[in-house]
């Protein structure tokens, strides 16, 4: 009996191993979709994907594994921390990526430097099926759609803690209010932080005038003197969820993640305006597998994959199959899908000399208090040394007196 039971269990285990993958495929995709990707002839090829960290679902649906299983293509998946980090890797040579996902202004820069390949939309049929051109088509004007397909859309946002802030803020100017000293978190990158100051000053966030950057830098320096903000990026999650800070500047989708862990948080789109942005799937000019890259872009537009990514990332998706899906949990989020963002501006690629000037001003803003802190620490050490020397001399004199030397 035990042998029979053992054989039955063994049979069930073996049967489940062979049956489950087939069931999973049929459960997620239609037979037509499965056949489409298997007939592309990508078996044995390699695709190198370079993406932001935590920017693709690997929980509900392991997107990379699903693409590999349907196509037979092996994916090398790596991540970057910023557009500039990604650009440095690409421009430095020695690497060959097939898919990258830069932000709007970086797409423009890569286009201007002939670092992207034009897309063949015959190989991306899901674009016409699912991309919401009516709502997001204006973002990819001026030839951008020739080189990129929008992956996600977002905006900056002001997050606040209702335990410290009793009335919903309406202006970025609250970040200069001294009653919140030591409880403000700012972007730890120049483009986003300068944009906030530029909105307050009524400037374009794409200005090339040095006087504008000087004024914005002066305003940020004033903020640093008044409220001592902390400059953070991903650390913002832990800090705002802890309930110890009054304000944070960050991105709209991430607010939804934070409020799950701290229901005391609220959000506002300041009246001066916010930065709206998109990230796009592009193919670098050095790609060795353009066919596989276009298949990957098409795969990312599949309704099942787009939904999984949208639920995982918490940013707005331009995929109509997702936004029309009643099961999509973020469809009613006012933070992710605001009705209207007045005075919003998008970043554009800036001239090299402007970028260099911005970075120089940013170093001054962040280094101003640091330098003063160094001076303070230096003179404190000198004072301590002087006190020790004086104490030593007095002690020596007392000893001389005691021994009548």
Coil, strand or helix: which one is 317?
coil
Structure tokens at 150: 């929008």
| Residues 123 and 59 placed together within one structural domain of the fold | yes
- pLDDT of 265-303, one tens digit each? 999 999 999 999 999 999 999 999 999 999 999 999 999
Residue at 373 is within a domain: no
Q: Which residues of 209-233 are buried (b: 16+ CB within 10 A; e: fewer)?
A: eeebbebbbebbbebbeebebeebe
DSSP-assigned beta bridge partners for residue 249: 158
- pLDDT of 58-99, one tens digit each? 999 999 999 999 999 999 999 998 898 899 999 988 889 999
| Residues 357 and 237 placed together within one structural domain of the fold | yes
| Residues 360 and 231 placed together within one structural domain of the fold | yes
DSSP string, 204-240: -TT---HHHHHHHHHHHHHHHHHH-PEEESTTHHHHH
Q: Which domain holds residue 191?
A: 154-276+351-367
Structure tokens at 108: 């423009």
Residue at 391 is within a domain: no
Report, as an integer, the average pLDDT of 330-347: 92
Which residue's structure tokens are 């998946």? Answer: 77
| Residues 218 and 359 placed together within one structural domain of the fold | yes
Residue at 404 is within a domain: no
| Residues 318 and 171 placed together within one structural domain of the fold | no
Q: How many residues does the chain have?
A: 405
Which residue's structure tokens are 């410290």? Answer: 164
User: Residue 173 burial by CB count (10 A; 0-12/13-18/19+): exposed, middle or buried?
Assistant: middle
Structure tokens at 365: 């803003």
pLDDT higher than threshold 60 for residue 380: no
User: How many domains does one find in the chain?
Assistant: 2
pLDDT value of residue 340: 83
CATH number (domain holding residue 196): 3.40.190.10
Cβ contacts of 256 within 8 Å, gap of 6 or more: 314, 330, 333, 335, 336
């Amino acid at each position: 009996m035990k042998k029979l039971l053992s054989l039955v269990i063994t049979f069930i285990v073996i049967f489940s191993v062979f049956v489950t993958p087939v069931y999973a495929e049929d459960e997620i995709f239609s037979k037509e979709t499965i056949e489409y990707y298997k007939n592309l002839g990508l078996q044995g090829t390699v695709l190198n994907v370079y993406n932001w960290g935590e920017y693709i679902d690997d929980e509900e649906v392991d997107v990379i594994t699903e693409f590999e299983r349907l196509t037979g293509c092996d994916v090398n998946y790596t991540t970057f921390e910023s557009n500039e980090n990604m650009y440095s890797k690409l421009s430095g040579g020695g690497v060959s990526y097939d898919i990258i996902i830069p932000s709007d202004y970086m797409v423009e820069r890569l286009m201007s430097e002939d670092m992207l390949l034009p897309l063949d939309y015959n190989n991306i049929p899901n674009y016409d099926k699912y991309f919401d051109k009516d709502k997001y088509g204006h973002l990819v004007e001026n030839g951008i759609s020739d080189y990129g397909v929008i992956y996600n859309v977002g905006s900056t946002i002001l997050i606040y803690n209702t335990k410290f802030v009793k009335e919903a803020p309406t202006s970025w100017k609250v970040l200069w209010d001294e009653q919140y000293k030591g409880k403000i978190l700012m972007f730890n990158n120049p483009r986003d932080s300068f944009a906030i100051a530029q909105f307050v000053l009524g400037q374009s966030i794409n200005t090339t005038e040095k006087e504008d950057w000087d004024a914005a830098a002066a305003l940020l320096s004033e903020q640093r003197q008044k409220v001592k903000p902390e400059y953070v990026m991903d650390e913002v999650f832990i800090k705002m969820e802890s309930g110890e800070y009054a304000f944070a500047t960050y991105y709209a989708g991430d607010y939804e993640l934070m409020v799950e862990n701290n229901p005391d948080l609220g959000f506002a789109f300041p009246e001066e305006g916010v930065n709206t942005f998109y990230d796009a799937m592009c193919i670098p000019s050095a790609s060795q597998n353009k066919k596989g890259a276009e298949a990957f872009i098409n795969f990312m537009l599949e309704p099942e994959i787009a939904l999984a990514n949208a639920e995982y990332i918490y940013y707005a998706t331009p995929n109509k199959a997702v936004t029309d899906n009643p099961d999509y949990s973020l469809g009613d989020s006012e933070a992710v899908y605001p009705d209207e963002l007045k005075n919003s501006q998008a970043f554009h690629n800036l001239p090299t000399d402007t970028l260099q000037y911005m970075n120089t001003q940013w170093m001054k803003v962040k280094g101003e208090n640091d330098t003063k802190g160094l001076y303070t620490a230096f003179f404190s050490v000198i004072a301590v040394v002087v006190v020790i020397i004086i104490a030593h001399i007095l002690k020596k004199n007392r000893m001389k007196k005691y021994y009548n030397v």
